Structure 1
Amino acid sequence: MTKKIILLFLLMTTSLSAQEGNFSPYSFFGVGNNTFKGTTENRSMGGISMFSDSIHLNLQNPAAYSKLKLTNFSIGATANSLELEQGSTTDDINFSSVDYIGVGIPLNKFGVGFGLKPLSSVGYEIQSLEGDVAKSLNGRGGINTVYLSGGFNIIDNLSVGLSLNYNFGDIENKNLIAQNGIERSSREINSSDINGLTYNLGIQHDFKFKNKFRVRSSVSFSPESTLNINNERQLATIIFGNDGSEIVIDSNDPIESSSEVDFGSKINAGLGIGQDRKWFAGIEYEYQSASNFDAINFNNNVDINFIESSQVKLGGYFIPRYNAPRGYFNRIVYRAGLRYSETGLEFRGESIDEFGISFGVGLPAGRYFTNINFGAEYWMRGTTSNNLIQENYFSFFVSLSFNDLWFQKPKYN
């Protein structure tokens, strides 16, 4: 199994690093859209991060690794159907992405984990025609995170955790301008390489209520962080080939600069109640101070403001009877949730917000509680006010959660 995990990790790392995973005009701003909304299991419950158990990974709060009882390998992917709406005009786009890959290993009261997940994603193509001038703006790329996490059970029902994250990626934005009657067109390419270290802390606490219900509280915190950014800007005049290719006629030497982007501090607090292996319901609130992306100077203008962001999430699950000897549907996990988010982006005086409602199921699929998880979410971003674009998504996501016994002492010689 170790060799399989290493091989899958290498394959998925290449896939996650290379994909676009996004198609949103709002990803033009800053370092792109925040695309990670938790594992399939958590996302199906509105994205709440407080819930963790012994057989699923929780990639949002590192304290959850102390709950693992089995070695877990998990991968997740999403297929999106997107409708872009502006006034009376609509456009439909379909795209898919690999969401995350992670491994968690229990070591008595301590648990460790490592893996790869996205931090942000950029993907858009905007075309306009004003008189005899045609403009095309497109972008690609994003930031990925390789993480190493650990969670420790200090005393019964109280766990703390720490995640160290190395963030890396590149963003490319290309602007083309062509005018009718003029043979040559103008092209501007802005490239940004971004990297740096961040970390986050987590705490989880449980206690029994009336010896029947379990109350869980959680807090996670990420301090203000800075990532390094190396910018390159190149201008060129081009002509288009018969196949649409861009043929450079003249170009200047690239203009290079180095700077930093600043991410605001983030705190997440949640509270929930339930019965073990029966049901759970919880609520979370997340707040992040304003970030500073002035170093990415190609998309700065007076219409953009980066402000504080916040998010409220509600969700939970229900299992009819987890250990039912008969009746497969009795052992299925049924999940649901909703979320509302102020993303921290203001454009033309309008706050770019998100709202989503999600559902999902967890299907037992093998020994050691290995399971397949499916989820679906309908969510919206943005608004049609002030001639802006509203994005209407239907997302279908799936994860495979493999469990196995590692580091077990032999019972027989």
Structure 2
Amino acid sequence: MIKRIFVAFTLMMVGVGFAQTNGSPSPYSYFGVGQAKYNNTAESRAMGGLSVYSDSIHVNLANPASYSKLSLTTYTAGLSYSSLGLKTDSANENASTASFDYLALGVPVSDNFGFGFGIQPYSTVGYRLQTLEESEDGPTVLNRYSGDGGVNKVFLSMGYQVFKGLSVGVTGSYLFGKTEHKYLGLRDDIRYGTREISKSKYKGFDVKAAINYEGEINDRLYWQSSFMYSPESILISENSREIATVLINNNGEEAPRDVQDVDLASEGLESLNLSIPQTFTAGLGIGERKKWYLGAEFELKKTSKFDNKFENFGRSSYENAERFSVGGYYIPDYDSFTGYWKRIVYRAGLYNGRTGLKVNGMPTHDFGMTFGVGLPLGGYVPTTNVFQQFAGMFSNLNVGVEFGKRGSTLYNRVQENYFNVNIGLSFNDRWFVKRKYD
């Protein structure tokens, strides 16, 4: 068992390097520490992003109290592909990217206690912007903006069932990463251009607490509720900035000269404490076990306190973020061992809210619809252990699609019409089985 944990942990550390290069093609990643990433699994995302729902065979990364329900050790990993249609008042562009979403392991230790750990991106930066200023009386000016990097987190979660129906949990996370923002200005009447590169390295800790309660309505129906809270915490930003004159050769390559480091210490910008917002999440759901489920959830983030003086872009400010989600699933016949398509889980949901970012004084809205399926993997394994016979059948491949719109073209802003494909693998195994014979 110790060997298995070591292998799983090693795989997650391999994922750290992959996560560091994970990007987002969104121009909204220009602001703050990047665009926030969805923090749960593909199966939850396909239900509008619900975290209130939990069961015994899937890891719920956003809700630590759910680990107390696990019956099988679960390995889970996720990838996604995003396609963006970018629109302004005067132009249209397309962008796309593939990204790593999460890698985690959930382990049930006893009937009322479980834990898990993993890695996932917290935010991503990835944009390429360009403006051309033409004037009849003056020079033509080309401005190029680009950014890369992001913040990742490794986490440890624990869930404990206090008594039947009531579970509590906590997640501790370590956040780390780096971002780079670059500006290049060129004038047609000057041979050399101006380049500015701003770099930040981040580190910090975050914690989340959760309470879940589940009760029976009647012989068929049950309900679930959850409340989660994350107090405000600090993300330390270590910053540097350099300016230089550059010559662009025929291949478009930059040849810098007269490179100078900016004295940020004298401005009080070399090291800053950034706010990780206080967050409240409440959810409620109702369903019939192994048949259908419908839930709703509301999340509030106190992002209005966020301020990064090092990257003060002027056009941006922050308000509190909020998001409302509704979604669920349907299974035609969970117990069918002969009809594969009857055991498929069909999921759908939608969400609406504000991201907390204001551009040109206007809030950024985000609306989307999700659809997905859970495809069972594996099959019957003959063994003397009745539970183990069917353990492999609980593994599944979860595929989801997401359509949405973020932002607006009003007031000289950018509208994103996005389409995402999300893929999650969930593999189940049985650990901590007491041997009958030595």
Alpha-carbon distance between aligned partners in 2 of 1:139 and 1:373, rounded to the nearest angstrom: 32
Gaps of 5+ in 1: none
**Which of the residues 349, 364, 387 maps onto 2:412?**
387
Query: Hey, what does 2:351 align to over in structure 1?
Result: 339
1:252 alignment partner, SS class: strand
CA offset digits 1:247-271 (Å, max 9, x no partner): 1110113434111101221000000
Give the Å deviation of 1:4. 4.7
Query: Hey, what does 1:148 align to over in structure 2?
Result: 156
2:35 alignment partner, SS class: coil
2:335 alignment partner, SS class: coil
Alpha-carbon distance between aligned partners in 2 of 1:9 and 1:35, rounded to the nearest angstrom: 18
User: How much is the aligned-residue C-alpha RMSD, in angstroms?
Assistant: 1.3
Contact 1:36 1:117 in 2 (8 A): no
Give the Å deviation of 1:7. 4.2
Contact 1:262 1:291 in 2 (8 A): no
Alpha-carbon distance between aligned partners in 2 of 1:110 and 1:325, rounded to the nearest angstrom: 30
Contact 1:376 1:397 in 2 (8 A): yes
CA offset digits 1:248-303 (Å, max 9, x no partner): 110113434111101221000000000111110000001111344433423331x3
Give the Å deviation of 1:78. 0.5
Give the Å deviation of 1:177. 0.5
Is 1:352 the equivalent of 2:364?
A: yes
The letter for the 2-side match of 1:344 is G
Query: Hey, what does 1:199 align to over in structure 2?
Result: 207
Answer with 330-339 or 80-89: which moved more.
80-89
CA offset digits 1:112-135 (Å, max 9, x no partner): 100001111111111011021110
Give the Å deviation of 1:211. 2.7
Contact 1:263 1:291 in 2 (8 A): no
Alpha-carbon distance between aligned partners in 2 of 1:272 and 1:34, rounded to the nearest angstrom: 26
**Which of the residues 112, 115, 118 maps onto 1:112?**
115
| TM-score between the two structures when normalised by the length of structure 2 | 0.91
Query: Hey, what does 1:278 align to over in structure 2?
Result: 291
Gaps of 5+ in 2: 135-139, 265-269, 379-391
Is 1:227 the equivalent of 2:229?
A: no
1:143 alignment partner, SS class: strand
Query: Relative to 1, partners in 2 of residues 1:37 and 1:353: Cα closer, same or farther, differing over 3 Å?
Result: farther
Alpha-carbon distance between aligned partners in 2 of 1:80 and 1:341, rounded to the nearest angstrom: 20
Contact 2:377 2:393 in 1 (8 A): no
Query: Hey, what does 1:87 align to over in structure 2?
Result: 89
Contact 2:364 2:408 in 1 (8 A): yes
Is 1:10 the equivalent of 2:35?
A: no
Alpha-carbon distance between aligned partners in 2 of 1:206 and 1:298, rounded to the nearest angstrom: 45
CA offset digits 1:41-65 (Å, max 9, x no partner): 0000000000111111101110010
**Which of the residues 256, 259, 277 maps onto 1:264?**
277
Is 1:373 the equivalent of 2:398?
A: yes
Query: Relative to 1, partners in 2 of residues 1:298 and 1:325: Cα closer, same or farther, differing over 3 Å?
Result: closer
Query: Relative to 1, partners in 2 of residues 1:291 and 1:101: Cα closer, same or farther, differing over 3 Å?
Result: farther
Contact 2:277 2:306 in 1 (8 A): no
Contact 2:32 2:311 in 1 (8 A): no
Give the Å deviation of 1:411. 2.9
Contact 1:31 1:142 in 2 (8 A): yes
Alpha-carbon distance between aligned partners in 2 of 1:146 and 1:7, rounded to the nearest angstrom: 13
Alpha-carbon distance between aligned partners in 2 of 1:309 and 1:77, rounded to the nearest angstrom: 26
Is 1:361 the equivalent of 2:369?
A: no
Alpha-carbon distance between aligned partners in 1 of 2:167 and 2:258, rounded to the nearest angstrom: 61
Alpha-carbon distance between aligned partners in 1 of 2:359 and 2:6, rounded to the nearest angstrom: 48
Query: Hey, what does 2:76 align to over in structure 1?
Result: 74
Alpha-carbon distance between aligned partners in 2 of 1:194 and 1:407, rounded to the nearest angstrom: 38
The letter for the 1-side match of 2:133 is E
The letter for the 2-side match of 1:275 is E
Give the Å deviation of 1:12. 2.0
Alpha-carbon distance between aligned partners in 1 of 2:337 and 2:29, rounded to the nearest angstrom: 49
Alpha-carbon distance between aligned partners in 1 of 2:230 and 2:5, rounded to the nearest angstrom: 32
Query: Hey, what does 2:385 align to over in structure 1?
Result: none
Query: Hey, what does 1:410 align to over in structure 2?
Result: 435
| TM-score between the two structures when normalised by the length of structure 1 | 0.97
Alpha-carbon distance between aligned partners in 1 of 2:161 and 2:234, rounded to the nearest angstrom: 30
The letter for the 2-side match of 1:76 is G
CA offset digits 1:320-361 (Å, max 9, x no partner): 111112111110000000000211111112210100000000
Is 1:250 the equivalent of 2:262?
A: no
Kindly, what percent of the aligned residue pairs are identical? 40
CA offset digits 1:215-246 (Å, max 9, x no partner): 10001100111111111111111111332221
Query: Hey, what does 1:103 align to over in structure 2?
Result: 105
CA offset digits 1:126-160 (Å, max 9, x no partner): 10110211100111111101101100011011100
Count of aligned positions: 411
Query: Hey, what does 2:313 align to over in structure 1?
Result: 300
Alpha-carbon distance between aligned partners in 1 of 2:260 and 2:305, rounded to the nearest angstrom: 29
Give the Å deviation of 1:88. 4.7
